[in-house]
Amino acid sequence: MQKIWNIKKYDEKEVDEIVNKYNISRTLAKLLISRHIEDIDMYLNGNIKSFKDPYLMKDMDKFVQRIKTALKNKEKVCIYGDYDVDGITSITIMYKFLTMLGLDVIYYLPDRLLEGYGINNQALDKIKAQGVSLVITVDCGITAIDEVEYAKSIGLEICITDHHECTEKIPDAIAIINPKQTQDNYSFKMLAGVGVAFKVLSALSMEFNLDKESYLKYLDIVAIGTISDIVPLVDENRVISNLGLKALKNTKNEGLKSMLEIISFKDIDSSMVSFGMAPRINACGRMGDASVAVKLLLEQDSNKAKELAKTLDLLNSKRQAVEKQIFDEAIELIEKNEMNTKNSIVLYNQNWHNGVIGIVASRLVNIYNRPIILFTKENGVIRGSGRCQTGFSLYDTLTKCSEYLIQFGGHELAAGMSIEEENIDRFRKEFEKVVTNTLEDKNERVIDIDMEITKADLNVSLLKDINLIKPYGQSNPTPLFLYRGLKIHSIRTLKEEKHLKFTFKDGRILIEALAFSQGARRDEFRIGDKVDVICNVELNTFNSPRTIQLILQDFKKSVE
């Protein structure tokens, strides 16, 4: 696939206005414009006071009143969640807070392999049998129209908190807290499920005249769920992530402490959450029992927490092995059948592990830059997991192919679904048709570059500006720079020829650079070649003294 390098252009008058208004550098001003930041003050200086009034959310007053009724009547409440990081963190904070209020609370996590995503009637029967009268969903429920009706028929009331896309018809629940509902006045629509749960806690805190610390103390957990769910890290999500990561450094949660010891990342940042914590929390739901992660986050005994953290780490190692096998088999299928010539890829293997196919789909998207859906069979049910590239809506595409699916749910970049086996081929053809009609440049991948730099820009000021953009995530990516005319001083492969390490020369200075997963390109270049690179700029903390290094995302020979 051809890669097009697109250097963003800026209105210099707009840059000047932002520089003068906020007393920042031109580089930072351009980075803010590039990310389409509307509330710059909140982006740069967001704090606890930046959080919006939770009662602007539709039905929040109804939800709060229902909790008050449950307390008055001493009802038993069940929190029903999802088995991913967002769902697990949502259950944790809701359980902790409602228990603190004095409610009798249990939680329920569906088995990923046996039950799949969302509410199901069999689970509702089990919950009812335990004496529960009120079910609160977190990170799920917005599409559970029939299940809510069934719940009412057996004497269960449902309050829904969710953040997924809403269909035209929504469940007839006691209260639905989801900023994506129509007629919802909450201005920020992109909270994670745990973010929505967090807003519920803040509303309850206000109602019961509690100190703000009663819910702010969970920001470390809320940040983990928010970052892991790949929601846009702007507006309130950015504030949550910033404050939560700071709180995580001195967390009082024994489970988080134990995980941090095992992960042992050099920095507690969004990368540590995405590549260290999230895989381990997700692993128990993918490979076994998701409740292990909830138990870890609820555990107050440090020794027990350490044992639970070890269990998650072992499950994650098992997940990695299974993932590699599926990934290798998927690549073989794609190449053998020349599926990379199409605009979408839909694969089916009844022996693949349902808990891992979503991760594999994500990895395949990074390689092929097109929507990917993997199907497998679990207990006679064909389940699928899909991922797609930024700028493409998987949810909208599935909506147009829904006649071939039993059910589906998700959001722009990720979705889950189920299908009848005989409909897979029909779905594959229709999905390809819809994707083809949607894509404008099917053979091009555009890489948007924030700005061009030279050796004069490689200084502390640039590093400071880059750090002000953190934490990185969806809609707030790591800044990308173009650096032209670098002369290759040395080049070698690392880690079984998987990665490339360069030393570049620009005039008299030497610049170190790494190109991860680009080892196969070693023979394209020779010592003395001049190259143009697209790169991230970071501080190399492994060297003494510390030096600035480039992390290459793409590179090619300079045109003389």
Give the pLDDT confidence score for residue 340 in this predicted structure.
85
* DSSP structural state of residue 277: I
Looking at residue 214, what is its pLDDT? 96
For residue 550, give its domain range. Answer: 2-34+447-557
Report the amino acid identity of residue 370: R
pLDDT value for 387: 93
- Is residue 541 predicted with pLDDT exceeding 80? no
Residue of higher predicted confidence among 325 and 407: 325
Q: Count CA atoms closer than 13 A to 437's CA, side-chain side.
A: 10
Residues 438 and 511 in one domain: no
Which band of pLDDT confidence, cut at 50, 70 and 90, is reported for residue 118? confident
The Cα 499–Cα 326 span in angstroms is 22
Domain count, the chain: 3
Query: Rounded to 5 degrees, what angle do the CA atoms 491, 496, 498 make?
Result: 65
Asked if residue 254 has pLDDT above 60, the reply is yes
pLDDT tens figures, 471-502: 988 889 999 999 999 999 999 998 788 899 99
Which pLDDT score is estimated for 393?
A: 86
pLDDT at 443: 53
Shared-domain flag, residues 420 and 405 = yes
Residue whose tokens read 């819910």: 215
482 in any annotated domain: yes
Kindly state whether residue 326 falls inside one of the protein's structural domains: no
Co-location of 397 and 520 in the same domain: no
- For position 77, which CATH number holds? 3.90.1640.30
Share of the chain above pLDDT 90, in %: 75
257-274 mean pLDDT:
90
| pLDDT value of residue 186 | 95
Q: What pLDDT, on the 0 to 100 scale, is given for residue 235?
A: 94
Q: Of 454 and 4, which is predicted with more confidence? A: 454
Residues in the chain: 560
Contact of 449 with 6, CB cutoff 8 Å: yes
DSSP 408: E
Instruction: Report the distance separating Cα 1 and Cα 261, nearest Å.
Output: 41
Is there a domain that residue 273 lies in? no
Q: What digits encode the pLDDT tens for the residues 17-74?
A: 999 999 999 999 999 999 999 899 999 999 999 999 999 999 999 999 999 999 999 9
Residue pair 297/88 in contact (Cβ under 8 Å)? The answer is yes
What count of Cα atoms within 13 Å lies in the side-chain half-sphere of residue 338? 1
What is the rounded distance in angstroms from the CA atom of residue 92 to the CA atom of residue 103?
A: 15
169 part of a folded domain = yes
CATH number at residue 357: 3.10.310.30
**What CATH number did the domain enclosing 485 receive?**
2.40.50.460
Judge whether residue 410 has pLDDT over 80: no
pLDDT at res. 553: 93
Average pLDDT for 531-547: 85
Same structural domain, 438 and 518? no
For residue 507, give the nearest of 483, 537, 480, 538 by alpha carbon: 483
pLDDT at 442 over 60: no
The predicted pLDDT at position 29 comes to: 96
Q: Which amino acid is at 545?
A: P
pLDDT tens readout for residues 286-295: 877 889 999 9
Strands 381-387 and 407-410 turn out to be unpaired
Q: What is the average per-residue pLDDT within 277-301?
A: 90
Is residue 127 within 8 Å of 136, Cβ to Cβ? Answer: no
Within a domain: 239: no
Mean pLDDT, rounded, of the chain: 92
Whether residues 73 and 7 fall in one domain: no
With CA atoms as reference, report the closest residue to 415 among 458, 455, 373, 457.
373
Which segments of 164-234 does DSSP mark as H helices, in order? 193-207, 213-216, 219-228
Using 50, 70 and 90 to split pLDDT, how confident is the model at 543? Answer: low
Q: Is the peptide bond between 54 and the residue preceding it cis, with omega within 30 degrees of 0?
A: no
Give the pLDDT of residue 371: 93
538 secondary structure, DSSP code: E
pLDDT at 440: 63
Best CA proximity match to 556, nearest among 533, 536, 537, 535: 533
The pLDDT-based confidence of 275 (bands split at 50, 70, 90) is confident
pLDDT at 82: 87
Residues 6+ apart with CB under 8 A from 553: 447, 480, 534, 535, 536
- Position 381 scores a pLDDT of 85
Last residue of one domain, picked from the residues 417, 442, 467? 442
| 383, 417 Cβ separation under 8 angstroms | yes
Per-residue model confidence (pLDDT) at position 113? 67
Residues 388 and 459 in one domain: no
Q: Are residues 8 and 80 in the same domain?
A: no
Are 17 and 150 found together in one domain?
Answer: no
> What is the band of 540 on the pLDDT scale with cuts at 50, 70, 90?
confident
Asked if the bond preceding 545 is cis, omega within 30° of 0, the reply is yes
261 belongs to a structural domain: no
Check whether residue 84 and residue 203 sit in a common domain: yes
Distances 244 to 62, 93, 237, 258 between C-alpha atoms, Å = 28, 13, 10, 17
Section 462-473 average pLDDT: 92
pLDDT at residue 145 above 90?
yes
314 contacts: CB under 8 Å, gap ≥ 6: none
Which tops the pLDDT comparison, 90 or 343?
90
Is 84 in the same domain as 194? yes
Last residue of a domain, one of 411, 426, 442: 442
Residue 247 banded pLDDT, cuts 50, 70, 90: very high
Whether 65 is covered by a domain: the verdict is yes
Q: 469 and 405, same structural domain?
A: no
230, exposed or middle or buried, with CB in 10 Å at 0-12, 13-18, 19+? buried
pLDDT of 495 reads 79
Contact predicate 415/165, CB 8 Å:
no
Q: Are 533 and 3 in contact (CB under 8 A)?
A: no
pLDDT digits (tens, 9 = 90+) for 190-204: 999 999 999 999 999
End residue of a domain, out of 442, 467, 488: 442
Q: Are 161 and 200 in contact (CB under 8 A)?
A: yes
Mean pLDDT calculated for residue range 218-226? 97
Query: Residue 544 burial by CB count (10 A; 0-12/13-18/19+): exposed, middle or buried?
Result: exposed
Residue 301 in domain: no
Report the pLDDT value the prediction gives residue 487, as an integer from 0 to 100: 95
Q: Identify whether residues 209 and 64 lie together within a single domain.
A: yes
* Residue 31 in tokens: 């980075």
Higher pLDDT, 112 or 194: 194
Report how many helices (DSSP H) and strands (DSSP E) the chain contains, helices first: 20, 18
